[in-house]
Structure 1
Amino acid sequence: MFTCQPVLVDWSVSVSLEDLSEHPFTDGKQWEPKPCVLPKRYMDFAEQIRNFEVFEDDVWIVTFPKCGTTWTQEMVWLIDQNLDYQTAKTINLNDRSVFLELFSTFDPMDDTITSARNLPRPRHIKSHLPVALLPKQLWTVKPKIVYVSRNPKDVAASYLHHYRGIAGYRGTKEEFFERLLADEIEYCPQIAHVLEFWRIKNHPNVLFLTYEQMKRDLRKVLPTVCDFFGKKFSNEQLDLLAKHLSFDEMKKNPATNNVELVQTRMKQEGREGESFEFMRKGQIGDYKNELSSSFIDRFDEFIERELRGSDFKFDC
Structure 2
Amino acid sequence: MATSAQGSDEETSFLDDSPKVEWRPSTTFVHWKGFWLMPDLIKSIMIIENQFKPLPSDILLASYPKTGTTWLKALSISILSHNSKAWISPDGDAQADLLQAHNPNELIPFLEMETFGENWSQNINKVPSPRVFSTHLPYSILPEHVKNSGCRVVYISRNPADTFVSSWHFYFKKFGASISFEEAFDEFCRGVVPGGPFFDHVLEYWKERKNKNVFFVTYEELKENPKESVRSLAEFLGCS
TM-score after normalising by structure 1: 0.61
Give the aligned partner of residue 63 of structure 1. Answer: 63
The one of 111, 115, 139 aligned to 2:120: 111
CA change 1:105–1:150 in 2 (3 A) is farther
The one of 2, 21, 45 aligned to 1:8: 21
Q: How many residues align?
A: 211
Task: Write out per-residue CA displacement over residues 120-150 of structure 1, whole angstroms, 9 at most, x where no aligned residue.
Answer: 2211111111012223322111211111111
| 1:93 correspondence with 2:104 | yes
> Once superposed, what is the RMSD of the aligned Cα atoms?
2.5
1:15 Cα shift?
1.3
Kindly report which structure 2 residues correspond to 1:1-316, keeping only aligned pairs within 5 A, or say none: 4=15, 5-10=18-23, 11-16=28-33, 35-51=34-50, 52-82=52-82, 85-102=96-113, 110-112=119-121, 114-116=122-124, 118-232=126-240
Once residues 183 and 87 of structure 1 are traced to their aligned partners in structure 2, the CA distance between those partners, rounded to angstroms, is: 37
Q: Does 1 or 2 have the higher relative contact order (CA < 8 Å, sep 6+)?
A: 2
Task: Write out per-residue CA displacement over residues 58-93 of structure 1, whole angstroms, 9 at most, x where no aligned residue.
Answer: 111101111111001110122122266422322332
CA change 1:70–1:86 in 2 (3 A) is same
Residue identity opposite 1:153 in structure 2: A
Contact 1:183/1:190 (<8 A) preserved: yes
Once residues 231 and 65 of structure 1 are traced to their aligned partners in structure 2, the CA distance between those partners, rounded to angstroms, is: 27
Q: Identity over the aligned pairs, expressed in percent?
A: 27
1:179 Cα shift?
0.8
Residue identity opposite 2:143 in structure 1: P
Once residues 129 and 154 of structure 1 are traced to their aligned partners in structure 2, the CA distance between those partners, rounded to angstroms, is: 20
> Helix, strand or coil: the match of 2:216?
strand
Once residues 189 and 149 of structure 2 are traced to their aligned partners in structure 1, the CA distance between those partners, rounded to angstroms, is: 35
1:194 Cα shift?
0.9
Residue identity opposite 1:223 in structure 2: R
Contact 1:98/1:115 (<8 A) preserved: no
Residue identity opposite 2:45 in structure 1: A
CA change 1:41–1:94 in 2 (3 A) is same
Residue identity opposite 1:79 in structure 2: I
In structure 2, list runs of 5 or more residues that go unmatched.
1-10, 84-94
Instruction: Determine which structure has more spread, i.e. the larger CA radius of gyration.
Output: 1
> Helix, strand or coil: the match of 1:12?
strand
